[in-house]
């Protein structure tokens, strides 16, 4: 067959060019709208994933087919051109499947198992710790992103690593029963019992801020105090930020109050502004890292965890409790002021506390008081969050804290809001449904 | 006057040599883009955090560019159709519509990159952004090459000469379009 015959040939096959173009446009619209619909319709993650895979990637192949077959005329091209191109595609797949196991996995097969529990792997044939560390670091950063994206001015963005977190609570820094925290806790409970929590002030920290504003509480002169650099509205409250990007109402006043408390107790404070005092009673960074390594191994083992059985009616009640539309003893619970319900990175604006999304069965690292008679805290074995854990976190908010979040950041809502077990149960039916 | 290049009409392989050359070129391109895409895919599947980074790409800009390239592909194939009918003038016009599509594509791309780079999202930010700039950058350089090739072909076509080249430039352009068809969901949609 001459090349001319060949050309004439394909003019009579398949749809016309315009028709192919319209088909391509329709496919294009589906590939853009499909993933958007998944977002708008609030699909479950599995459904959303399937929708994106089918509409975005599946359709990409269909689009490519139409272009290759009818615009490039490969369908009617001489056969060996198809074989030639097919071979290179096969080489591409070969490359993918030969290299993917090394790149996609961050450890090799298990070569040594725990004699007591065969599901726990003690040693892998190889470990790509750099990649695993990178994932861990990036996910933590994405979770932490705090208000940086939306509220902070890039020009004076300072690394939050040194200033975030721990200053929230005297308990975390000084142990539950230290004179310092006793003084501050007494101050707080006095305030809390004297004031009825309102929508605008649902945690003790706000009272302290108020008191500083009204000069009832004097900051220590040695302490460098940042004037609020910016004010902004969030969750119906006016909040202030200092130049570090910290929420003034949350961090600085606590620090000041502690200085005050220290003065009453005749103690000197050990920390400089912008840094966190090292407390020998707190677990060290090495302790956390060690536990984290164990957790990374455990996360990859088959789990015996049984997912919580969600009752839709109780979950709906839990959602109303979380939203604050269902009142508890006449008051709206403050949960959504700090805890988001979105997945990981999307949680940024509410990263003051762990997200409730995917909490049931989520691996977590906690620090707890090892011995009730000693203020010494240790990092607990990694665990999967369940109802008991959730319940304890509400009833005894300071019993344990999750890494990367402020110690004692959770106020005693159980007592303050006169909650009972049924509220906790409903809340858990709701949060366990978030996955 | 020079003699006709031998690639024009010799077809001992059952296919014009020029066309065969284009297919070979594309076969090598599949290996180039295939390597980049396969490597990206592995990292995307092995690193959950890529999803979070991809959320910062501009889906609308990506979608607009997909639309532009699909349309320019139609122009390229219409140029080929005109060339087959011996209508060099129309082929010239259609080739320049295609080139305009390429220009528009690059315009959107540069606006997008300007925004991203000025917001601190550069090649050095992390592996995701590295892949993003390398994959889209290599692709954009192919768009530029395709535009130049078509401009060169178009002026001969206007004089009704070497009309068979119109199809060859078109085939290359469709390939560039196909690469983008896959880059778009990979870089912009999967979050």
Question: Residue A44: inside a domain, yes or no?
Answer: yes
**What does residue B141 show for φ and ψ, rounded to 5 degrees?**
-65, -30
Q: Does A292 lie in the same domain as A355? A: yes
Question: Which pLDDT band, with edges at 50, 70 and 90, does A269 fall under?
Answer: very low
Residue B22: its pLDDT value, please? 94
The rounded distance, in Å, linking the Cα atoms of A184 and A192 is 12
Q: Which of A159-168, A311-320, A412-421, B66-75 has the highest mean pLDDT?
A: B66-75
CA distances from A310 to A140, A267, A387 (A): 28, 50, 11
**Is residue A168 scored above 90 in pLDDT?**
no
CATH code where residue B35 lies:
1.20.120.80
- Cβ of B73 within 8 Å of Cβ of A87? The answer is no
Comparing A177-181, A351-355, A384-388, which segment has the lowest mean pLDDT? A177-181
- Asked if residue A291 and residue A255 are part of one domain, the reply reads no
Computed from CA positions of residues A320, A322, A325, A330, in that sequence, does the dihedral angle turn out positive or negative? positive
With pLDDT > 90 as the criterion, what percentage of chain A qualifies? Answer: 15
Strand A110-113 versus strand A400-402 pairing type: unpaired
Question: Quick check: is A401 in a domain?
Answer: yes
Residue A374 has a CB neighbour count (10 Å cut-off) of 12
Residues 6 or more apart whose CB falls under 8 angstroms from that of A237 comprise A200
In this predicted structure, what is the pLDDT of residue A14?
Answer: 57
**How is residue A326 written in tokens?**
């269902």
Has residue A280 been placed in a domain? no
Question: Is residue B118, in this structure, part of any structural domain at all?
Answer: yes
> Is the pLDDT confidence value at A130 over 80?
no
Question: Across residues A360-370, what is the average pLDDT?
Answer: 83
- Residue A26 has, within 13 A of its CA and on its CB side, a CA count of 8
Question: Which residues of chain A lie closer than 8 angstroms to B30, CB-CB?
Answer: 85, 88-89, 92
pLDDT band at A264 (very low <50, low <70, confident <90, very high): very low
Predicted local confidence at residue A3, as pLDDT: 41
Residue with tokens 């706000």: A206
Query: What kind and span of H or E run contains A130?
Result: helix A129-144
Q: Give a yes or no: residue A294 inside a domain.
A: yes
Give contacts of B90 with chain A, Cβ < 8 Å.
Answer: none
In a domain, A276, yes or no: no
Same structural domain, A242 and A377: no
Q: What's the pLDDT score for residue A153?
A: 39
Q: Does residue B102 have a pLDDT over 90?
A: yes
- 8 Å CB contact of A88 and B178: no
Domain contains B56: yes
Considering the domain architecture, whether residues A390 and A333 belong to the same structural domain is answered as yes
A399 and A305 within one domain: yes
pLDDT given at position A115: 79
Report yes or no on B48 lying in a domain. yes
Distance CA A17, CA A305 (A): 56
Residue A87 makes CB contacts below 8 A (sequence gap 6+) with B27
- At which of A65, A87, A104 does a domain end? A104
Looking at the fold, whether A195 and A304 belong to one and the same domain comes out as no
Residue B35 lies in a domain: yes
DSSP A251: S
Position A220 confidence tier, pLDDT thresholds 50, 70, 90: very low
Give the DSSP letter of residue A166: G
Terminal C-alpha separation, chain B: 58
Range of the domain at A52: 3-104
Residues A253, A345, single domain; the answer is: no
B151/A395 Cα distance (integer angstroms):
74
Give the pairing type, strands A383-384 and A363-364: antiparallel
Q: How far apart are CA A30 and CA A53, in angstroms?
A: 12
Residue B120 scores a pLDDT above 70? yes
Contact A252, A271 (CB under 8 A): no
Give the residue from chain B lying closest to A77, CA to CA: B15
Q: Do B190 and A56 touch (CB under 8 A)?
A: yes
CB contact under 8 A, A68 and B178: yes
Weakest-pLDDT range from A93-97, A99-103, A294-298, B76-80: A294-298
Residues A289 and A208 in one domain: no
B7 found inside a domain:
no
User: How far apart are the two ends of chain A, measured CA to CA in Å?
Assistant: 61
- The better pLDDT of the pair A435, A309 is held by A309
* pLDDT at A318 exceeding the cut of 50: yes
Selection from A70-84, A257-271, A363-377, A401-415 with the highest mean pLDDT: A70-84
| Whether B85 contacts B176, CB under 8 Å | no
Residues A189, A237 within the same domain:
yes
A138: closest CA of chain B, how far (Å): 6
Tens digit of each residue's pLDDT (9 = 90 or more) over B134-147: 999 999 999 999 99
Name the nearest CA neighbour of A321 among A420, A231, A245, A392: A420
Q: How far apart are CA A224 and CA A384, in angstroms?
A: 41
Portion of chain A with pLDDT greater than 70, in percent: 60
Q: Looking at the 3D structure of chain B, how many domains does it have?
A: 1
CB pairs under 8 A between A and B: 146
- pLDDT category at A169 given cuts 50, 70, 90 is very low
The mean pLDDT of A125-144, rounded to a whole number, is 73
Most confident option among A279-288, A409-418, B136-145: B136-145
pLDDT (0 to 100) of residue B9: 59
For residue A166, what pLDDT is reported? 23
Residue B185 to residue A95, Cβ atoms within 8 A: no
How many alpha carbons fall within 13 Å on the CB side of residue A400?
Answer: 23
Residues A323 and A413 occupy one common structural domain: yes
Is residue B134 domain-resident?
yes
What CATH number does residue A393 fall under?
Answer: 1.10.760.10
Boundary of a domain, candidates A88, A104, A120:
A104
Q: How buried is residue A242: exposed, middle or buried, by Cβ count under 10 Å (0-12/13-18/19+)?
A: middle
Residue B1: both structure tokens together: 């006057």
Report strand pairing: A110-113 vs A377-379: unpaired
User: Average pLDDT, stretch A132-139?
Assistant: 73
Q: For the purposes of burial, counting CB atoms within 10 Å of the CB of B120, is it exposed (0-12), middle (13-18) or buried (19 or more)?
A: exposed
- Chain A positions touching B78 (Cβ under 8 A) are 17
Note whether residue A133 is domain-resident. Answer: no
Q: How far, CA to CA in Å, does B125 sit from each of B55, B118, B119?
A: 15, 12, 11
Report chain A's mean pLDDT, rounded to a whole number. Answer: 68
CB A354 within 8 A of CB A365: no
pLDDT confidence tier of residue A404, bands split at 50, 70 and 90: low
> What mean pLDDT is predicted for residues A395-414?
75
Q: What is the pLDDT of residues A28-41, one digit of tens each?
A: 999 988 888 887 88
Cβ atoms of A251 and A271 within 8 Å: the answer is no
Instruction: Please give the average per-residue pLDDT across A197-201, as a whole number.
Output: 25
What is the reported pLDDT for A12?
43
Shortest CA distance from A143: residue in chain B:
B52
Give residue A337's pLDDT: 73
- A348 lies in the same domain as A258: no
pLDDT, residue A345, reads 39
Element (H, E) at A230: strand A230-234
Q: Say how many domains are in chain A.
A: 3
Report whether pLDDT(A369) > 70. yes
Q: Number of C-alpha atoms within 13 angstroms, CB side, residue A329? A: 12
Binary contact (B174, A138; C-beta < 8 A): no
Structure tokens at B98: 């295609």
Please tell me what DSSP assigns to residue A127: B
Residues A245 and A301 in one domain: no
Residue B122 maps to a domain: yes
Residue with tokens 């015996």: A304
Distance from CA of B155 to the nearest CA of A (A): 22
The shortest CB-CB distance from A64 to any of B47, B71, B181 is to: B181
pLDDT digits (tens, 9 = 90+) for B15-59: 888 899 999 999 999 999 999 999 999 998 888 888 878 888 888
Tokens standing for residue B169: 């430039």
Does residue B99 have a pLDDT over 50? yes
**Whole-number average pLDDT of chain B:** 90
CA distance B64 to chain A (A): 10
Domain range for B22 is 17-189
Last residue of a domain, one of A104, A119, A149: A104
Residue with tokens 């220590």, as numbered in its chain: A220
| CA–CA dist A167, A246 (Å, integer) | 11
Q: Max Cα separation, chain A?
A: 102
Question: Mean pLDDT throughout A128-136?
Answer: 75
Task: Confirm if A25 and B66 have CB atoms less than 8 A apart.
Answer: no
Asked whether residue A140 is domain-assigned, the answer is: no
Neighbours of A419 (CB within 10 A): 20
* pLDDT, tens only, A69-113: 999 998 888 888 999 999 999 999 999 999 998 888 888 888 888
């Amino acid at each position: 067959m001459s090349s001319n015959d060949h050309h004439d040939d394909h003019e009579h096959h398949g749809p016309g060019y315009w028709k192919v173009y319209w088909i391509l446009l329709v496919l294009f619209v589906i590939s853009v709208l499909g993933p958007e619909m998944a977002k708008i319709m609030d699909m479950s993650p599995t459904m959303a994933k399937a929708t994106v895979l089918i509409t975005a990637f599946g359709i990409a192949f269909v689009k490519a087919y139409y272009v290759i077959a009818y615009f490039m005329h490969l369908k009617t091209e001489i056969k060996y051109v198809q074989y030639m191109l097919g071979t290179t595609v096969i080489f591409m797949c070969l490359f993918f499947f030969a290299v993917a196991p090394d790149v996609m996995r961050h450890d090799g097969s298990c070569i040594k198992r725990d004699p007591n529990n065969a599901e726990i792997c003690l040693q892998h044939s190889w470990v790509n710790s750099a990649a695993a560390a990178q994932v861990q670091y990036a996910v933590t950063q994405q979770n932490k992103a705090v208000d940086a994206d939306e509220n902070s001015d890039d020009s004076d963005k300072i690394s939050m690593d040194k200033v975030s977190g721990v200053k929230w609570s005297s308990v975390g820094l000084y142990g539950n029963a230290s004179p310092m925290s006793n003084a501050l806790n007494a101050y707080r409970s006095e305030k809390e019992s004297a004031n009825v929590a309102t929508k605008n002030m649902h945690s003790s920290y706000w009272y302290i801020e108020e008191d500083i504003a009204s000069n009832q509480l004097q900051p220590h002169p040695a302490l460098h105090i940042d004037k609020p650099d910016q004010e902004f509205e969030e969750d119906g409250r006016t909040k202030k930020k200092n130049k570090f990007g910290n929420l003034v109402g949350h961090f600085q006043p606590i620090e000041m109050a502690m200085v005050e408390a220290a003065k009453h107790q005749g103690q000197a404070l050990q920390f400089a502004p912008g840094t966190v005092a090292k407390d020998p009673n707190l677990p060290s960074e090495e302790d956390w890292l060690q536990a984290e390594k164990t957790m990374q191994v455990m996360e990859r083992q088959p789990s015996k965890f049984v997912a919580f059985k969600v009752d839709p009616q109780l979950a709906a009640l839990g959602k109303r409790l979380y939203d604050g539309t269902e009142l508890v003893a006449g008051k709206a619970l403050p949960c959504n002021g700090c805890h988001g319900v979105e997945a990981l990175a999307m949680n940024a604006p509410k990263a003051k506390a762990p997200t409730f999304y995917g909490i049931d069965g989520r691996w977590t690292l906690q620090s707890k008081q090892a011995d009730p008679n000693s203020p010494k805290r240790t990092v607990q074995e990694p665990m999967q969050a369940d109802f008991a854990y959730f319940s304890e976190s509400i009833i005894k908010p300071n019993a344990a804290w999750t890494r990367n979040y402020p110690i004692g950041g959770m106020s005693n809502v159980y007592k303050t809001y006169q909650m009972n077990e049924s509220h906790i149960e409903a809340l858990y039916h709701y949060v366990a449904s978030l996955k | 006057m020079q003699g006709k290049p031998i690639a024009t009409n010799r077809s001992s392989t059952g296919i014009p040599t020029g066309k065969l050359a284009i297919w070979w070129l594309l076969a090598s391109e599949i290996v180039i883009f295939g390597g980049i895409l396969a490597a990206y895919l592995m990292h995307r599947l092995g690193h959950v955090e890529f999803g979070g980074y991809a959320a910062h790409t501009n889906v609308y800009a990506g979608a607009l560019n997909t639309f532009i390239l699909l349309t320019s592909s139609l122009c390229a194939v219409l140029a080929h159709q005109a060339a087959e009918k011996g209508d060099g003038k129309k082929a010239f016009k259609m080739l320049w519509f295609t080139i305009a599509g390429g220009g528009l594509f690059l315009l959107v791309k540069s606006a997008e990159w300007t925004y991203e780079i000025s917001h601190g999202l550069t090649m050095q930010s992390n592996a995701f952004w590295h892949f993003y700039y390398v994959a889209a950058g290599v692709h954009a350089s192919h768009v530029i090459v395709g535009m130049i090739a078509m401009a060169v072909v178009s002026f001969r076509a206007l004089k009704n000469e070497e009309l068979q080249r119109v199809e060859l430039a078109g085939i290359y352009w469709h390939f560039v379009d196909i690469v983008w068809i896959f880059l778009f969901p990979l870089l912009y949609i999967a979050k």
